[in-house]
Amino acid sequence: MRIKVCGMKYPENIDDIAMLQPDYLGFIFYEKSSRFFNGTIPKLPSGIKKVGVFVDATIEEVIEKVEKYDLDLVQLHGEESPEFCKELGGLLTNTDRDKNSEIPACAGIVKVFSIKDHFNFEELIPYESVCDYFLFDTKGKLPGGNGYTFNWEVLKDYPSTKPYFLSGGIGLEDVSKLAEFLRKQESEYCHAIDINSRFEIEPGLKDSGKLEVFEKKLIDLTRPDRF
């Protein structure tokens, strides 16, 4: 199972977490967030993809960050419309664009949807053709990092085949629950587990020891020979 560690902020901490080889590292480009990133991303080991998180940013702002940080994925955490996603996706994947452009041709789009106890999956339909992934997070006061999980049973009704990230307050104490979820049919298209606030010493500073324990326990509990 792939893991995304979101809300990275401090270069030395980024290096420490990168040594654990998560599949994705997330950087939040939303100034109101306590995890707002405005620094330099150190060179990462091959295989770790960089995800830029945006909340109702302009297309120009997103493109600027994609170019500056060589982002692999763009995560849209606001009220971005399908039309916005389509226009942005066209710019990210247009091979006929200005040859001087530094936009990575592989940059994809992750659209976030917030869930609590219920969700109308018809909301996904307009985004099916303009996004590469969905991400399901907990509905709360903040756009993300609220620190508690939503009801994963809602995903029993997931109607799509598009891969999704499972997010929202996942912590070390949720490993057994998570392993159980990953054995269920509704996890078939779960692409990655997204973790953030429950592994922090302070906003943006991740506890590498706690994260290492989480990874090892999750790997152990999802081994094929356990079933």
pLDDT per residue over 28-38, tens digit each?
A: 999 999 999 99
Output the domain CATH number for residue 79.
Answer: 3.20.20.70
Q: Is residue 149 within 8 Å of residue 181, measured between CB atoms?
A: no
Average pLDDT, rounded, for the chain:
91
First CA to last CA across the chain, in angstroms?
16
Question: At 105, is the pLDDT very low, low, confident or very high (cuts 50, 70, 90)?
Answer: low
Residue 97 predicted with pLDDT over 80: no
State the total domains in the chain: 1
Residue 100 predicted with pLDDT over 80: no
Bridge partners (DSSP) listed for residue 206? 200
CA distance linking residue 217 with residue 227, whole number of Å? 16
Q: What is the CA radius of gyration of the chain?
A: 17
The model's pTM:
0.91
CB under 8 A, 24+ apart: contacts of 213-218 = 213/172, 214/172, 214/175, 215/3, 215/20, 215/22, 217/172, 217/175, 218/1, 218/3, 218/175, 218/178, 218/179, 218/193
CA distance linking residue 4 with residue 167, whole number of Å? 9
Question: Residue 117 is part of which domain span?
Answer: 2-226
Question: At 95, is the pLDDT very low, low, confident or very high (cuts 50, 70, 90)?
Answer: very low
